[in-house]
Amino acid sequence: MNKRLSWVTILGMAPIFAFSAVATVAQPSPVSSTINITCNTDTSSTPTAIATSSAQGSARNITMISFLPQYFSTQDAVQNCQNTAKILQGLYKKGRAHYLTNDKLKAQPVVCAVERRGVGCNHYSAQVLFALDAKVNSSQALYEMLGSDFKQSQPPDSRTVSRIYVDIKSKPWWQRLF
């Protein structure tokens, strides 16, 4: 009787497990695998890391970071843009791109990708995207370089904010791609 009861219990629970599995698979992913991050190096514009999706038969672009001429030479802007796009694409594929932040490493201002707030660019999981000139305020530079979908409503106060965190995972920017 015990054996029969256990089979009845298992068979009775099967639809619940199946429904749970289908519900889990059917959940939309906030960062779709169809998102590609590339560097647009059109000679008539500023090198820009963009997120692109070609879902539903149309391509849409969202500007992530523009490598502005006040911070980079033309050659450095192109190189940094290409490296940043490559690193961010790899992090997105692994599900590890959550925030952009700024920091100083060995007295050099840098911008990096981190998995959570409170982590600096010297953390083992951080990925440095690019370095800035030693005299540059990296918080202000990062804010100015961001695409409009990633900017806060107010720029950081350069006198009180030493590090900003830009959410690139959970913001609804990716929804505009579809």
Measured CA angle at 107 (ends 105, 109), to 5 deg: 65
Domain boundaries, the chain: 36-177
pLDDT in tens, the chain (178 residues): 555 555 445 555 555 444 444 443 444 444 444 688 999 998 678 999 998 876 666 677 889 999 999 999 999 999 999 999 999 999 988 888 789 999 999 999 999 999 999 899 999 999 999 999 999 999 999 999 999 888 877 776 666 566 788 888 765 555 555 4
Q: Are strands 48-53 and 127-131 parallel, antiparallel or unpaired?
A: unpaired
> How far is residue 20's CA from residue 31's CA, in Å, rounded to a whole number?
22
